[in-house]
Structure 1
Amino acid sequence: MKLTTDSRETLDVITVEANRIDAAVAIQFKDQMREAVVDADGRVVLNLARVDFIDSSGLGAIVAAMKLMPDGRKLELAALTPTVDKVFRMTRMDSIFAIHDSVESATQSAI
């Protein structure tokens, strides 16, 4: 599991450089997210453009990452593939997270 961070003016974009977030990588994902968000000053957007599959462990890892956010900060999601988007909608997690169509739309949003 590899995550890359791109710090922009008002937000940090964390990109998942893998096609799956599942039980095999969930703990590693949480650990890397903890490191990535510990010093977050502004908004944090998780770019899921490359993720084609997510299972319940992966979904739980993203929720755990949300809970790791510093006080007053929220984890936003961007660029969900159709399969991943379906999982978020079926589990109603789309009501918990701000979900953007793309990283660019997240950057322009003032949430």
Structure 2
Amino acid sequence: MDVTIRDQTDHILVQLAESRLDAAIAGEFKDKVRPHVAEAGPDLVLDLATVEFLDSSGLGAVIALKKALPDGKRMFLRGLTPNVERVFKLTRMDQIFEFQTKDMGGAS
């Protein structure tokens, strides 16, 4: 699994460089990112620009990360491909998550 976690000026950027976020990697993804989510500090930006397929396990991993956020910390999703965006809309998770359409200061 190819995931990069970087501290930016005002947020933590998590970039998943995989075409699928599914049952095969969802647990590993969640376990790798969760320690960074659970820490107090800046908000989290999850960049899913390369993810073309998201199943229920992948969606569950993203939801688990959101639930692990400390009070006052926010999570933003960005770079959703049409197929992944459709999953969020069909499951009505688009009403729960915040989506970022442009970079937050210093994001790359």
1:91-110 C-alpha deviation (Å, 9 max, x unpaired): 11011000123xxx1405xx
After superposing on structure 2, the runs of 4+ consecutive aligned residues of structure 1 that deviate more than 3 Å are: none
Whether 1:27 and 2:27 are equivalent positions in the alignment is yes
**Which residue type is aligned with residue 104 of structure 2?**
T
Secondary structure of 1:107's partner? coil
Amino acid across the alignment from 2:46: L
Aligned length: 105
Give the corresponding residue for 1:107: 104
The one-letter amino acid paired with 2:33 is M
Match of 1:95 in 2: 95
Q: Which residue of 2 aligns with 1:67?
A: 67
Structure 2 portions without partners, runs of 5+ = none
Structure-1 residue corresponding to 2:86: 86
CA RMSD of aligned residues (A): 1.4
Q: Aligned AA for 1:82?
A: P
Matching residue of 2:46: 46
| CA–CA distance in structure 2, aligned partners of residues 14 and 7 of structure 1 | 9
Give the drift of 1:39: 2.6
TM-score, normalised by the number of residues in structure 1 = 0.87
- In the alignment, the residues of structure 1 paired with residue 34 and residue 10 of structure 2 have an alpha-carbon distance, to the nearest angstrom, of 20
Q: State TM-score, norm by structure 2.
A: 0.89
